[in-house]
Structure 1
């Protein structure tokens, strides 16, 4: 029969070995991100937008592993207070980090104010976490299509400015 103390010590040693082999510290510097995404991308229009009741246009910026998104929304119907909807046009901002797996990019971050400071949850529209998956299709070096999992209208974005990644300390 095995000593209870040695059994606990063996279990603790095994647990620590598993943790050390699978646990790691977060990096202290940005990762380079995806080279083809680096820059500013703008969606100029949506197919049949004049016939739509509501739609959004996106301006995306990718720098290393970080993203910044402006979502310009338009609506012909007033579903909220006019101080928020501004006669059917409003803008929301998000920032965070992204990762790509195969053809899908996951943006994980927070809704922000226009200056990219964290948004108060008492303001207009969405606040808190932003978590979105996009299937990315490269049409050319300067044209990408982002097909969101929560939206039926794809984002056809053209490159307006290429940037290089210079990783910064976190």
Structure 2
């Protein structure tokens, strides 16, 4: 005659659950590679936005400078503001520059960036004037040639017309260098 032992059944269930969790965690985890990826070949280089349509009529606008090297992006954002909507000590007569760096991926016609706002030396910025924290722009790649690139910001649909000023050849290196 079999005896039902709830403690034994609970122990077996618990062991199967632990073994399953261990198996899933071992099989699903992997370390991120410490080598850069090559990124999109046609983006490699330095791209500058000279102006935006009707910029003189705008109260505030930002011109972009983007440097793509392998799968990394370095953004320099030149902002002009006719209205004082930030602290007087940061306003700087309505002209200021912000910096951000991160990694990017191209998926279809989308350019997705995952980065952080930095200081001018590309070190993470955790306080101070202007924006801090994550830099997460989402762009639509409208069109590109060897010397021009048109992006559209997914959040405000304004075109960003960029011209290439320098070529960069991707040489992947360790991220920690």
Question: Quick one: distance in 2 between partners of 1:12 and 1:120?
Answer: 40
What does residue 127 of structure 1 align with?
132
Matched, 1:110 2:116: yes
What does residue 62 of structure 2 align with?
56
Q: How many residues align?
A: 169
What does residue 38 of structure 1 align with?
44
What does residue 14 of structure 2 align with?
8
Question: Going by fraction, where is helix more abundant, 1 or 2?
Answer: 2
What does residue 154 of structure 1 align with?
159
- TM-score, normalised on structure 1? 0.89
The verdict on how the C-alpha distance between 1:151 and 1:35 changes in structure 2, with shifts beyond 3 A counting, is same
- TM-score, normalised on structure 2? 0.86
Matched residue of 2:157: which SS? coil
Question: Quick one: distance in 1 between partners of 2:148 and 2:56?
Answer: 23
List runs of 5+ in structure 1 lacking aligned partners. none
Q: String of CA shifts for 1:138-169, please: whole Å, max 9, x gaps.
A: 23222111211223322111111110111111
Matched residue of 1:86: which SS? helix
Question: Quick one: distance in 2 between partners of 1:108 and 1:58?
Answer: 17
Question: Quick one: distance in 2 between partners of 1:57 and 1:40?
Answer: 14
Matched residue of 2:56: which SS? coil
Question: Quick one: distance in 2 between partners of 1:92 and 1:151?
Answer: 19
Matched, 1:20 2:1: no
Matched, 1:142 2:147: yes
Matched, 1:67 2:70: no
Q: String of CA shifts for 1:39-92, please: whole Å, max 9, x gaps.
A: 111101101111222111000011111111011011122222343222111111
What does residue 174 of structure 2 align with?
169
- Ranges of 4+ aligned residues in structure 1 off by more than 4 Å: none
Question: Quick one: distance in 2 between partners of 1:148 and 1:126?
Answer: 18
Q: What RMSD, in angstroms, separates the aligned Cα atoms of the two structures?
A: 1.8
Matched residue of 1:19: which SS? helix
Question: Quick one: distance in 1 between partners of 2:26 and 2:109?
Answer: 31
